Amino acid sequence: MELIHLKGTEDTPKIVLDKSAGLFEISGRSLPEDAAEFYQPILDWLEKYATQANSSTNFHFKLEYFNTASSKLILDVLSKLEAVPGANITWYYHEDDEDMEEAGEEFSELVDVPFEFQTY
């Protein structure tokens, strides 16, 4: 499968989807002008990956901030992970960022994928 590696900007998160290295990460700030357009290649990649997934997939979310439009697409990403056998999510948040911690807890209740929470 093709590697997706997008460098983060002020408005878009860093994205790493690397099946061969077992690296799956979305990190940084997510405020793209068109969230649906930005996340569509990620959703397409995950749909394809689900049919030929690694035996385990630990997906890392290290978001500092995301806007409302991004939250819907992040939920879509999490929903795609429900179809990936052996998938689990590590949700990182700054120790003093209660909003990001709560966001992860809310997402964890909406999808059927194991969540682990880590501070950094």
Residue-wise pLDDT for 54-71, tens only, equals: 999 999 999 999 999 999
Which pair of structure tokens corresponds to residue 22? 């077992």
Pairwise CA distance, residues 11 & 15, whole Å: 13
Bridge partners for 6 per DSSP = 15
Question: How many domains, the chain?
Answer: 1
> Residue 80 sits in a domain of what CATH number?
3.30.750
Is residue 94 very low, low, confident or very high in pLDDT (cuts 50, 70, 90)?
very high
At 20 the pLDDT is 97
pTM: 0.97
Enclosing domain of residue 89: 4-119
